[in-house]
Structure 1
Amino acid sequence: MTHEERSRCIRWRLGWLPGGAPKPCPYQPNNNLSRRHAISCLNMHRRLCMPETIADPISFLLNMLPTRTFVPSSIALSWTCRWPVICSILHELDQLQHYTTIPCKTPHGQKLIEWLKQFN
C-alpha cells in the first residue's frame, strides 16, 4: 500500500474528507461533498458490488482487510478485484475535494495486489 493510499484510507475511516470542511460537489453543486453524499454520488455500492443495505461500503471492506501474513487464495482473489476499486474511489474523492487532478505514481492498489499474488 502506498503512502497516499494509506493516508486516504485512514482519513476515510476517521471521517475526514480531504481539504477540511465540505465543499460543493463538482457533479451536483447543490450538495456538499460529505461522506454520505460521496457514497451515493460516486456510486460506491455499484462499483464495489455491495448491497445498498451496507451504509458505508468502504469502511465495511476496510474492516475485512487481511490482518495475517497468510491469506487464503479465495480471499486474496477477492481483494485483487476490490482493492484497486477502493483506491480509485478514494483517489477520485481526493481530486473532487481539491478541485484538481492528482497524478498516480503507480496503478491503484498495485502494492497490495503484488503482495497478494504470493497466495494465488
Structure 2
Amino acid sequence: MMNLRHTNYLKPLPLSITAASSVLLFFIPSDQPFDQQNDWLRRMADTVQQQFGDQVRVLKIDADAQADVLRSFRLAQLPAFVLVRQGQEVWRQEGLPEAPLFTVLSKRLQRTD
C-alpha cells in the first residue's frame, strides 16, 4: 500500500491507496492570484477523473503544500503528471503534454507492462 497526502484545498489529509490501483498525480504550481492556468489544470484533473472513472485515481498536488512529495519525485518543471501503477512509476510528463492527455493516458492505462 502506498501512502500519499492529498490536498483538500484547506489542509493536507492522509490518503491510502491500494497497490493494485493506478494513480495519476497532478503536480500543480502553487496558486497565484488570478492564475488561469492553475484553474484550467484543476478542471482538467477533474475531467480526467470523470473520463477514466475507476481506472485511475487522480490526485491534485499543490507544489507548496506538498513540497516533500514534489521533491521525492525530483521534478524539474511544473505542471507535471506522474502515473503510478502497483506502486511503480510507469509514466511521467513534466510541463504540458504535446499530445492530448486523454490519449496518452488511455494508451498507458491499457498497457500491462
TM-score, length basis structure 1? 0.26
Q: Which has the higher strand share?
A: 2
Higher Rg: 1
TM-score, length basis structure 2? 0.27
